[in-house]
Structures are given as structure tokens and as C-alpha cells.
Structure 1
Amino acid sequence: MASVDQLGLVEQHESALVGLGYARHFNGMTDRLLYVRAVDGTRTHILHVVDAASWPTRNQRILRDYLREHPEDAARYAQLKQEIATAGIAPGDYARAKTEFIQEVMDRARAERRLPSVPVWEK
């Protein structure tokens, strides 16, 4: 995830991301730009570009920081992701399969930062 002052500026320079192998992906999220990089049809990178003003309360940033501070939860998350990948869950269902765990962790992480709980599922 990256933050920028204006999302429109990223769109104006999208050719640079294309040159790095990223393709714009539209999935209905209106608060960010989404780019996917794939090799032989398999996703290798996903880049979310968000407005800098939203960065302090972004769940993704809060989750990243929380997992860095709580290695036991990071290990649980890594194990869950491995189990999901091994089960062969389709890419569209991958995020949904992690939602319960992420909601649990995000509730704790946001509480630690005195932020209200919010739903993590974005669609």
C-alpha cells in the first residue's frame, strides 16, 4: 500500500506502473486505486494506492503495524494464509477467508489506538 496526496496524479502516470508489470484492477473500491502484477497468470504483487489523508486510520496500515508489534498474531496470520493457499481457495474468496481473523485482530489493534471498531470487509 502506498499513499499519495492526489490519486489523480497516479492515474496520470499509470504508464510507469504498467512498465513495472502492473495492471489496473477494478473491483468496486472507490477510495483507492488498485494495481495487480502477475507472472504467468499468477498474482505476485497487489498495490493499493490511497489518499494520504486517510493513511493514519487505514486498517491495512494499522494491521501491518499491529502484526509487527505482536509476533504471535503475525505467526497465526501467516499460518492461516498458508492454510488458505494450500486449500486452493480462489483468489476472489481469499480475502473473505481471512476476514474473521482480521476482524478479531483489528478490533484489538484499533482499541489499542483508541479508534472505534469498524468492519474490515470492504465489499
Structure 2
Amino acid sequence: MTKVDVVPYDPAWPGMAAGAVALLRLVLGGSVAAIEHIGSTAVPGLAAKPTIDLMAATDRLDRVGGHADVLEPLRYHRHVNAMADRLLFVRWVDRVRSHILHVVTLDTWPTRNQRILRDHLREHPEEADRYGRLKLELAAAGVHSRDHARAKAALLQELTDRARAARGLP
């Protein structure tokens, strides 16, 4: 059974993300227009799995997909999944997933739920606390990794819906 590791917020996470962003910008060059720190590690004070999530925007996914060879030396490996609207690269360090790079298209960038929810949680610390408490409770209860996302789904949907509505988005 794989237990989910949720830890208290680490003030080192933004610096880790900034370092990863700088390195990715260097190797990906003009193939990406933007790269941001997303996910729970991007929300000050929020408990999280200690994995740095990043999101990059490109005009065409194949522009970054074709650069998988320059990401390999940085230990980012392409993760094939069923999502046709993004590319995923996972960075492993000592058999631990340290970073995830989501690559999406520029036309979807402004309405990406991950970015919208991150900003909402930063603006509403009481909701971030609520989300953090749930994650810590699930981890303490030993919820298996495959059930973790499902157990958070209702609250995440509620928070994302509220964040999108606040921005006038469906």
C-alpha cells in the first residue's frame, strides 16, 4: 500500500520552484512563453505533498514534446497519460517524484483550473486552511495514494467552482 506523504508548508518550496523554472527556461528557450509554480506547494502555509508542480505554456504542444531530449539530463521524463490537452514530465530524484511539469497551450493558459485555484487559495487563506486540514486528515488516516485524489474531489470542485465564478468563468 502506498501512503500519501503530506507535510506542513515548507518555505523552501518557492525557491525550489524558482530554481526549476530558471533551469527549464534555459533549456526550453523560446518553446515556452511562460512557466509558473502551481499546486499546493505554491500556496504559502498550505500543507502539501512535497512535489513541486510547474505549468508551462506553449503555442503548440509538439514544440515542447520535441524537446524531451533536453529535459532528460535534468531528470524530467515524459509521463504518458490519457490527457490529450497537455504534456506531463516528471522529475525523479532518488526514486521520489520531486517535480511535475505540466505543459499546456497558450490559448488555455488563462482558464487553467490549477492556476485559478492557486490564486484563489492565496487570496483566501481560510479556504487554503480548510483544504490543508483535509489533506492532513487523509494522510493521517493512511488513505492509499490511488484514493487520495478521489477523497479530495468534492472540496476541490467546490473551491475551483468558487474561484472560477469569482473570475466570471463558467
Asked if Structure 1 and Structure 2 have the same fold, meaning a TM-score greater than 0.5 normalized by the shorter chain, the answer is: yes
Name the CA shift for 1:94/1:24 in 2 (closer, same or farther; >3 Å).
Answer: farther
**Residue segments in structure 2 that go unaligned for 5+ positions in a row:** 1-54
**Residue segments in structure 1 that go unaligned for 5+ positions in a row:** 117-123
1:74-93 maps to which residues of 2 (within 5 A)? Answer: 74-93=128-147
**Corresponding letter in the other structure for 1:52:** L
Question: Could you tell me how far 1:9 is from its partner in structure 2?
Answer: 0.9
TM-score, normalized by length of structure 1? Answer: 0.83
Name the % identity: 59
CA distance in 2, matches of 1:90, 1:27: 20
Q: Which among 62, 66, 70 is matched to residue 12 of structure 1?
A: 66
Larger RCO: 1 or 2 (CA < 8 Å, sep 6+): 2
**Corresponding letter in the other structure for 2:133:** Q
Structure 2 residue 98 is matched with structure 1 residue 59: no
Question: Could you tell me how far 1:17 is from its partner in structure 2?
Answer: 1.8
Superposition RMSD on alpha carbons, in Å?
A: 1.7
Structure 2 residue 135 is matched with structure 1 residue 105: no
Structure 2 residue 83 is matched with structure 1 residue 29: yes
Q: Quick check: 39-48 or 6-15, which moved more?
A: 39-48
CA distance in 2, matches of 1:36, 1:94: 19
Q: Quick check: 62-71 or 76-85, which moved more?
A: 76-85
User: Once superposed, which parts of structure 1, at least 4 consecutive aligned residues long, lie more than 6 Å away?
Assistant: none
Question: Could you tell me how far 1:35 is from its partner in structure 2?
Answer: 1.3
Question: Could you tell me how far 1:24 is from its partner in structure 2?
Answer: 1.1
- Provide Cα deviations, 1:12-31, integer angstroms capped at 9, x if missing partner: 11122221111111221110
SS of structure 2 residue aligned to 1:15: helix
